[in-house]
Amino acid sequence: MPKKSKEKLDKISLKFNLYILIIILLCVLLCIYETRFIIPSMLLCILLVCYTVWMSDKRKIEIVNHIEELTTDVNVATRNNLISSPIPLLLIETDGTIIWKSKSFIETFKKVEVITYLNPILKEIKLNIEKEQEKEGKDFDKNKYITKQFNIEEKFYKIYCGVSKSKKKDKRKQREYQLTLYFIDDTKYNELFDKYNNSKTCIGIAMIDNYEELLQRVIPEERAELVTNVEKVILDWARETGGLLVKTERDRFLYVFEQRYLSSIEKDKVNVLDKVKKLSENSNIRVTLSIAISNEGESNFEKYKSALAAMDIVLGRGGDQAVIRKEGKYKFYGGNTVEQEKRTKVKARTVAASIADVINQSSNVMIMGHGNIDIDAIGSGLGMYRLSKTLGKDAYIVSEPKGKSLGKFLEVLEQNEDYEGVIITEEEAETRINENTLLIIVDTHKANFVEFPELLEKIEKRIVIDHHRKAPDAVTDVLISFHEVYASSTAELITEIIQYAADDVKLTLLEAESLYGGIMVDTKNFTFKTGVRTFEAAAYLRKFGVDIIKVKKWFQADLESYNVIAEIIKSVEITNHTIAIAIYDNEEDENANLICAKAADELLTISDITASFVIGKIGEKVFISGRSIGDINVQIILEKLGGGGHITLAGAQIEGLTLEEAKDELIIRINEYLAEIE
């Protein structure tokens, strides 16, 4: 008998027995007052007891029979409902053995071998059950339902899965499970959901990169025709997607379109970039376009702000490219043109004056570069140190410089008493931080690349000065960002700031030489990424008496290192006809990253090599140095591996891979890049 039925029967019997007891008590009381009723009362009580026992047994039999009839009716009804249920039902074990199918299931999937599609889901469900059992330390709760998505034959189903134990076990002696699968047809819902998503608004911003240069260097007649043609190309591109294009400024456009067209824009790789470049092939100035598109945000205003933030990244990467921001990720297109130097110095003058104002309003200044600090970072730090001291502020460089990347410069710096206590550790910096401390970050803009990331959280006032192509994980909440990717080095930017921030800045010889060294090393002795402003900055530093020969001697390679580089070059492999890849397999060398960089530089001196990559390892980190003569964008390739840099010079750090695994991953990314630019 079911437990609930038994409880109901016990309650009925208890009530009946209580009535008999009351009658017996009344008989006893009657006998106390009237003795002549004793014998009749006893007889009555005996009769009542006998009757009670007889009636109780009879009632039990009747009630049990009635309850059993009801239970049978319910079971039959349930069974009939399951068999004739309009929802497809399937009883199956996690090993794929089908126990039972409903009529609806058979009718729905009669033309399809469902088990083929279900096997991966069954394995996933079993894995989920086992994981939950391990986590909870007990059997899976059979009252829980697992939900899965299932699509077949252009139909979308939501599967609700009930679980019970099976007697079977798999090869690992793990228990199989019986599953009751309910297939809910979600096709119409998904179609409506897709229709809703496709009708959402995307906001884009298009900007002519070098409009100011266009005004200055093209005669009015040609300029008007060129600008008109550029605008026509952009307008035609917007019309292809049924979008709305509005010119908001003389060099900027707002682009609004439905999300249904976003996939076609991605498929065409934002081809409007190439169309605009072709317009100026015969002109003395190349016109390029930057585009930022976003679908992130609840309102159109939020999407517009997201597109503006994305545009900052595009411009920080040198322009001539597009970025699409969706699902919290950035996807870049284009960016294969070498950055163009800006002739006008208006921005440099404005930024220099703003930086001077912020320094004046701060109590003290902390200067920090990237990890594995190099001469560009330390030279830039010394330049900002001198500017801060000239403006009357206490300034410190937060760093622990070491390794061969700084050559013999460290020895010279340590011997100079003027800089005693200037370069401090992170712990020393923390004792000097207050609410009005200013942090100047040089030669990097990525939050995870600074030498001491913890300081970012402790200092709210920040300035970033960098020349690398901008990445999505840039330092946020900065007062001033002087980010110019056309510059050869951060030292070049710092030199310009020093010229315009204050009239009385007098660099020491060591400071001038360190800035000159930063420019010289990053340009490979003024052969890569140099422009007019690069030489102007170098000429300014020469006025302070820079000894070029002495600076070159700081970074001369020793014979042992040169032999190592020669061995690396011997082991080089050529992929895709012109791309060289080599491995430096010496994990004990603390300067492996520097050796890799020099070897990559040396490989470019070999004819028919358009790009070089050298892979090394220090501890758990794999370093990749990439170099190019400009035909291949090594920055885009290494960005796929979490790195960054410039078109001709880039690097990446990877953890958790061997050298060979890193090489295989690099080749995959190279092939991806080559497929994208075809």
Task: Please write the tens of the pLDDT for every residue from 229-270.
Answer: 888 999 999 988 888 999 998 889 999 999 989 988 888 888
At 477 the pLDDT is: 85
Query: Rounded to an integer, what distance in angstroms lies between the CA atom of residue 513 and that of residue 526?
Result: 15
Sheet holding 175-185, edge to edge: 98-101, 89-93, 175-185, 155-169, 145-152
Instruction: Quick: pLDDT tens for 165-200.
Output: 766 666 666 667 788 888 888 888 888 888 888 888
The class of domain 346-554 in CATH terms is: alpha beta
Among 566, 596, 575, 564, CA closest to 666: 575
Q: Average of pLDDT values for 415-425?
A: 89
**So what's the pLDDT on residue 173?**
62
CB 126 within 8 A of CB 146: no
Residue 601, token pair as written in the block = 């530089």
Task: Give me 220's structure tokens.
Answer: 């009015």
Q: Residue 554 and residue 410: Cα distance in Å, rounded?
A: 9
Q: Which of 322-336, 386-400, 619-633 has the highest mean pLDDT?
A: 386-400
Distance CA 119, CA 139 (A): 23
Domain boundaries, given as residue ranges, for the chain: 3-83, 89-193, 203-334, 346-554, 559-677
Q: From 393, 388, 378, 394, select the one nearest 355 (Cα to Cα).
A: 388
Question: What φ, ψ does residue 364 adopt, rounded to 5°?
Answer: -155, 170
Cβ atoms of 82 and 89 within 8 Å: the answer is: yes
**Cβ within 8 Å of residue 333, ≥6 positions away:** 266, 269, 270, 273, 321, 322, 323, 324
Return the amino acid letter for 279: L
- What pLDDT sits at residue 509? 93
Measured CA angle at 400 (ends 506, 642), to 5 deg:
105
- CATH fold, domain 203-334, is Alpha-Beta Plaits (3.30.70)
What residues contact residue 73 under an 8 Å CB cut-off, 6+ apart?
A: none
Evaluate if residue 26 carries a pLDDT over 50.
yes
pLDDT computed for residue 427 by the predictor: 93
Long-range contacts of 266-272 (CB under 8 A, 24+ apart): 266/324, 266/331, 266/333, 269/333, 269/334, 269/676, 270/322, 270/324, 270/333, 270/334, 271/237, 272/206, 272/233, 272/234, 272/237
Instruction: Name the token pair of 178.
Output: 């019986």
Inter-residue contact 366 to 440 (CB < 8 Å)? yes
Contact of 280 with 287, CB cutoff 8 Å: yes
Which tokens is 667 given? 């080749």
Mean pLDDT score of the chain, rounded to an integer? 82
Closest listed residue to residue 292, CA positions, set 250, 333, 245, 233: 333
Of 335-339, 344-348, 457-461, which range is least confident? Answer: 335-339
pLDDT of res. 74: 45
Residue 544's φ and ψ, nearest 5 degrees, are -90, 10
Residue pair 373/404 in contact by the 8 Å Cβ criterion: no
Listed in sequence order, the residues at least 6 apart from 550 whose beta carbon sits closer than 8 Å to its beta carbon are: 513
| Plot region of 344 (φ>0 → left; ψ -120 to 50 → alpha; else → beta) | beta
For the segment(s) 89-193, the CATH number from 3.30.450, 3.30.70, 1.10.10, 2.60.40 is: 3.30.450
pLDDT value at residue 4: 52
pLDDT for 98 beyond 50: yes
Does 593 or 17 have the greater pLDDT score? 593
Which CATH code is given to the segment(s) 559-677?
Answer: 3.10.310.30
Q: What one-character-per-residue DSSP string does 256-298 give?
A: EEEGGGHHHHHHTT-THHHHHHHHTTTSSS---EEEEEE--SS
Among left, alpha and beta (phi > 0; psi -120 to 50; other), residue 207 is beta
Q: What is the mean pLDDT of residues 283-296?
A: 85
Give residue 393's pLDDT band: very low, low, confident or very high (50, 70, 90): very high
Greatest Cα pair distance in the chain: 141
Q: Mean pLDDT throughout 472-487? A: 84
Say which residue, 604 or 55, is predicted with more confidence: 604
- Given pLDDT bands bounded at 50, 70 and 90, which one contains residue 8? low
In this predicted structure, what is the pLDDT of residue 81? 59
Least confident range from 132-136, 377-381, 444-448: namely 132-136
In whole angstroms, give the CA distance from residue 494 to residue 507. Answer: 12
**Is pLDDT larger for residue 184 or for residue 40?**
184
**Least confident piece of the model among 152-156, 499-503, 601-605:** 152-156
How far apart CA 111 and CA 153 sit, in angstroms, is 10
Give 519's contacts (C-beta < 8 A, 6+ positions apart).
Answer: 376, 488, 489, 491, 492, 495, 526, 534, 537, 538, 541
Q: Cβ of 199: how many Cβ atoms within 10 Å?
A: 10
The angle that helices 509-522 and 532-542 make with each other, rounded to 10 degrees, is 150
Selection from 553, 552, 526 nearest residue 539 by Cα = 526
The torsion angle over the Cα atoms of residues 483, 599, 450 and 342, rounded to 10 degrees, is -10
Q: How large is the average pLDDT for residues 152-166?
A: 79
Q: Is the dihedral of CA 436, 437, 441, 445 positive or negative?
A: negative
What pLDDT sits at residue 13? 56
259 alpha-carbon distance from chain centroid: 22
Distance (Å, whole) CA 352 – CA 360: 12
Q: Is the pLDDT of residue 466 over 70?
A: yes
Q: What percent of the chain has pLDDT over 90?
A: 25
Q: What is the mean pLDDT of residues 456-473?
A: 87
pTM for the full predicted model: 0.62
* pLDDT interval class at 70 (50, 70, 90): very low
CA gap 632, 648 in Å, rounded: 8
Residue 137 confidence (pLDDT) = 59
Higher-pLDDT residue of 316, 476: 476
d(CA 50, CA 59): 14
